[in-house]
Structure 1
Amino acid sequence: MRAPKARLARLVRLAVVVLLVCSGCGLFSQGTVVSRAPAADDADQQPQEASPIPIATPDGKPLPDDAIVIGALMASTGLLAVYDEPALVAARIRIDALNEAGGLLGRPVVLRLIDSHTEMSSIRNGAEQLLLDGVDMVLMTCDAAFAVPALDVLEGSGTLVISPCGTDDSWITGELGERVFSMATPAGTEAMILVELLADRGFGTAAVVIDRTSTEAVSVCEQFKREFESTGGRVVGFYRYHSSSPWLLDPILGGLADRNPEAIVFCGTRLVAPEILTPIRAAGIVQPIFANSTMDGDFWIGRVSGVGDFTMLSYASVFQDTPDPSPAVRELLAEYLAVTGHRANDGRVVTGADAIEAYARAVKRAGTTEPGAVAGELERFDGEELAAGPTTFGPGVHAAVGRPMRIITLQGPYARYQRILVPPSLSE
């Protein structure tokens, strides 16, 4: 399916308005990660073996003179590791595949990783180090607030930056830099899909419950409220919760019981969600719950007794009994399992592979790794078929606005793939 840029105009305008109105244990260690070398012309030369789990080599180890160096400034430790690390592992898998096929432009591709530790000071210092290392492109952490100190350092050098998983709408408009892109679906698009899901079920009223530990979740639900009301829906309650403020739960339970919405829209994290959802269901509040992609996965379900009618968004189905319809996604998930020894926790893993795949395609078309030329090729993506779905960029449109998402529903204790839903402005 193609997504012509003209059909994205409404979504981009919405994102600009929103920007004006409102304002995780790691596999990696710090160092230089060298992927498997391209196949040698000399048949007697033995290829370098890749580690079954990516492990960093010591800092300062010499790299091939002609190497294309991809820097990674992401969190393998700290709060953001749960989002950054799966994408980082998938990126490494894709780099290994590139090298097995002979590299990129006939050159080996290496990965220089600096763990941000989810710390502002570390991420800025890391960006300065990557510039000294002479990287050709930087993979950036998912959270825009943590990325800003690094982007401030990198912008002056003209470095190309791709976040595998940045969802904040500030990635859309070039606000974070002229050569800064994200492979994730923006929060505004997720909000529109949630509105469409409620419309499909005929729900005209909704209550919104937000887990404030996730800035992404907050953004999705805030934008859902605006979009839902703009289409004639009515938000009858808007509640915020934080695990550091458990007394906020009573007003949420009382408000839901008193106002009796047709549906509940929940934006939160999988770690905190049971603190909210368990009491909601225990109180006899049985309305259908709709959640954004920060709830994707099934490891939290057993912590919520009687979760009931629950629908969430995803980039890919990781559930073995209802596999993803995309062969590319199924292949990636199988590779991830082979490398890590466990299946992916959620569908966001595909964006790490997409970041490398998008970069490789743009480099091949440009015939160079020069950042400006590669950025120009990325801006020409128009319905580019990647694992997460058709992806369109353009001048000032540097995130996958309007990309379809998977709909995952819970049936008993199991999460199951249901369908792919196209945002309403693209399906008209």
Structure 2
Amino acid sequence: MSIKKTAAVIASGAIMTAGAATAQDDKELLIGGALSLTGIQAPLDTPGFLGAEVAVDYLNENGGILGRQVKFVNIDGKSDPVTVGNVAVELIDRGAELMVAPCDFDFGGPAGREAQEAGIVGISTCASDPLYSSWSLGDKQFTLSMWNTTMGAVAADFACEEKGWKKAYVVTDQFIAYTKSLSKYFVEHYKDIGCEVILEDTYTNGDNDFSAQLSRLQALDEKPDVIFLSSYGQDIGVIIRALREAGIDAPVLGGDAYDDPAMHEGLGEKLGNDVYFVTHAWMGPESHDEMPNFIELYKAKHGEDPESSFVATGWDTIMLMAAAVEAAGTTDGAAVAKALEEGEFDLLTGKLSYSSAEEGHEPDKAAVLTELVKGKPSFMGWRRPETLPKP
């Protein structure tokens, strides 16, 4: 079903229908957002914000949600958990009926907790640590992203089974839950499928000094076939540059934090090779039949092509909310959460279904594998592991 003909990307059997008339039909439906448009989280949240704006315009041009026009108000969370929580409280006080949370547990969790306290559904655009779950945040909280159990397993399957890289050096940035759990699940799955981690190392975000880690790596009796680097922000590029300038040419593998055009540009044609990462989508027709239509809408709104898959997470978060509210016939938090639990959604970021609240609202979702070639991303296809490590 084309996005040019329907007001949401809808799951099989969950086609939107007009809701019953209510006293709120003539009142805007306020969706609050605490996405961080400044600070270290901005490269992930800003694209999501831009994609969400496109979705809201599209919905309003096609009848809104339950016949109500949609208003999306985002207040900059400033990459600060306390600010994010305060922003969520302010938006709920203004009458927000749904909440868009930042793309991370540490930064997004405060918005989810405030949404839960208010009894409304909150969805993070792309938090992937399993801490972003109904177990931690409550029965009305969800994330659009696959969990790091999937992201880590996709990376491990690719390295060990597809490429035959049997020995890995693993570096874990101690920055946030995301960077730590991504390595954890990669290592667990990599070992489970018969490959070996020859050294696990750590890094502290913001150090901009990888010399101690290089010394330990160079002192190994055997060279790694692959380097799994779980880091965040521009530190990823700093570390890759340090590796290459030290003459270490092993392929580098990581997660969705690599999906940052500024990092790709910084590496350039010389250093931006043999780098692979697992992310949410590919901004081209190879990824999803509806992607060209979305890109057309995005260009009409923002005057340029989308730069990363995080743009699609913003669109999908709003469209997922629309689908669930329409299926529920109300914005009541319990009813919308039930619709999300019972639905199956065909999104730009892949088909998605959730487990029950008792099972954590675990997302069942595939991931995209991407390669950097001369500093430019290249689509390698969708991946869905046959088995996953336990969260």
% identical equivalent positions: 24
Output the CA distance in 2 between the equivalents of 1:364 and 1:118.
32
Partner residue in 1 for 2:213? 251
Partner residue in 2 for 1:284? 247
State the TM-score, normalizing by the size of structure 1: 0.77
Query: Size of the alignment, in residue pairs?
Result: 360
Output the CA distance in 2 between the equivalents of 1:406 and 1:149.
28
1:330 aligns with 2:304: no
Residue 292 of structure 1, CA deviation: 1.2
Partner residue in 1 for 2:372? 410
1:422 aligns with 2:376: no
Q: Give the alignment partner of residue 108 of structure 1, picking from 54, 64, 69.
A: 69
Asked if 1 retains the 8 angstrom alpha-carbon contact of 2:173 and 2:231, the reply is yes
Relative to 1, partners in 2 of residues 1:324 and 1:213: Cα closer, same or farther, differing over 3 Å?
farther
Q: Give the alignment partner of residue 119 of structure 1, picking from 73, 76, 80.
A: 80
Q: Which secondary structure state, in structure 1, belongs to the residue aligned with residue 331 of structure 2? A: coil
**The structure with more radius of gyration:** 1
Partner residue in 2 for 1:345? 307
Relative to 1, partners in 2 of residues 1:221 and 1:67: Cα closer, same or farther, differing over 3 Å?
same
Q: Give the alignment partner of residue 353 of structure 2, picking from 392, 404, 407.
A: 392
Relative to 1, partners in 2 of residues 1:253 and 1:401: Cα closer, same or farther, differing over 3 Å?
farther
Asked if 2 retains the 8 angstrom alpha-carbon contact of 1:281 and 1:307, the reply is no
1:238 aligns with 2:200: yes
Question: For structure 1, which segment, 394-403 or 269-278, has the greater mean C-alpha deviation from structure 2 after superposition?
Answer: 394-403
Aligned-partner residue type, residue 304 of structure 2: H
Q: Which secondary structure state, in structure 2, belongs to the residue aligned with residue 218 of structure 1? A: helix
Q: Which secondary structure state, in structure 2, belongs to the residue aligned with residue 153 of structure 1? A: helix
Residue 270 of structure 1, CA deviation: 4.7
State the TM-score, normalizing by the size of structure 2: 0.84
Asked if 1 retains the 8 angstrom alpha-carbon contact of 2:33 and 2:88, the reply is no
Partner residue in 2 for 1:128? 89
Output the CA distance in 2 between the equivalents of 1:211 and 1:336.
34
1:167 aligns with 2:132: no
Aligned-partner residue type, residue 238 of structure 1: E
Residue 323 of structure 1, CA deviation: 5.0
Q: Deviations over 1:345-393 (max 9, x none)?
A: 31122111111111111111111221111110000123x2111111011
1:311 aligns with 2:261: no
Asked if 2 retains the 8 angstrom alpha-carbon contact of 1:86 and 1:348, the reply is yes
Output the CA distance in 2 between the equivalents of 1:146 and 1:413.
29
Output the CA distance in 1 between the equivalents of 2:67 and 2:278.
39
Aligned-partner residue type, residue 335 of structure 1: L
Aligned residues: CA RMSD:
2.4
Partner residue in 1 for 2:53? 92
Residue 75 of structure 1, CA deviation: 1.3
Asked if 2 retains the 8 angstrom alpha-carbon contact of 1:390 and 1:403, the reply is yes
Question: For structure 1, which segment, 327-336 or 93-102, has the greater mean C-alpha deviation from structure 2 after superposition?
Answer: 327-336
Output the CA distance in 1 between the equivalents of 2:262 and 2:78.
24
Partner residue in 1 for 2:29? 68
Relative to 1, partners in 2 of residues 1:368 and 1:246: Cα closer, same or farther, differing over 3 Å?
closer
Residue 400 of structure 1, CA deviation: 5.9
Q: Which secondary structure state, in structure 2, belongs to the residue aligned with residue 66 of structure 1? A: coil
Q: Which secondary structure state, in structure 2, belongs to the residue aligned with residue 174 of structure 1? A: helix
1:78 aligns with 2:39: yes
Aligned-partner residue type, residue 380 of structure 2: Q
Residue 246 of structure 1, CA deviation: 4.5
Residue 186 of structure 1, CA deviation: 1.2
Q: Deviations over 1:30-68 (max 9, x none)?
A: xxxxxxxxxxxxxxxxxxxxxxxxxxxxxxxxx995221
Output the CA distance in 2 between the equivalents of 1:70 and 1:193.
33
Aligned-partner residue type, residue 74 of structure 1: L
Asked if 2 retains the 8 angstrom alpha-carbon contact of 1:257 and 1:285, the reply is no
Asked if 1 retains the 8 angstrom alpha-carbon contact of 2:206 and 2:235, the reply is no
Q: Which secondary structure state, in structure 1, belongs to the residue aligned with residue 34 of structure 2? A: strand
Partner residue in 1 for 2:333? 371
Q: Which secondary structure state, in structure 2, belongs to the residue aligned with residue 236 of structure 1? A: strand
Output the CA distance in 1 between the equivalents of 2:122 and 2:205.
34
Higher relative contact order (CA 8 A, sep 6+): 2
- Aligned ranges for residues 185-264 of structure 1 at < 5 Å? 185-198=146-159, 199-213=161-175, 215-242=177-204, 244-256=206-218, 258=220, 259-264=222-227
Aligned-partner residue type, residue 96 of structure 1: D
Partner residue in 1 for 2:363? 401
Output the CA distance in 2 between the equivalents of 1:323 and 1:257.
45
Asked if 1 retains the 8 angstrom alpha-carbon contact of 2:101 and 2:109, the reply is no
Relative to 1, partners in 2 of residues 1:314 and 1:125: Cα closer, same or farther, differing over 3 Å?
closer
Partner residue in 2 for 1:267? 230
Residue 256 of structure 1, CA deviation: 4.5
Q: Which secondary structure state, in structure 1, belongs to the residue aligned with residue 178 of structure 2? A: helix
Residue 257 of structure 1, CA deviation: 5.7
Residue 253 of structure 1, CA deviation: 4.5
Relative to 1, partners in 2 of residues 1:245 and 1:366: Cα closer, same or farther, differing over 3 Å?
closer
Aligned-partner residue type, residue 156 of structure 1: E
Residue 251 of structure 1, CA deviation: 3.0
Relative to 1, partners in 2 of residues 1:302 and 1:253: Cα closer, same or farther, differing over 3 Å?
farther
Aligned-partner residue type, residue 281 of structure 2: A
Relative to 1, partners in 2 of residues 1:125 and 1:314: Cα closer, same or farther, differing over 3 Å?
closer
Q: Which secondary structure state, in structure 2, belongs to the residue aligned with residue 123 of structure 1? A: helix
Show structure 1 runs of 5+ residues with no match: 1-62
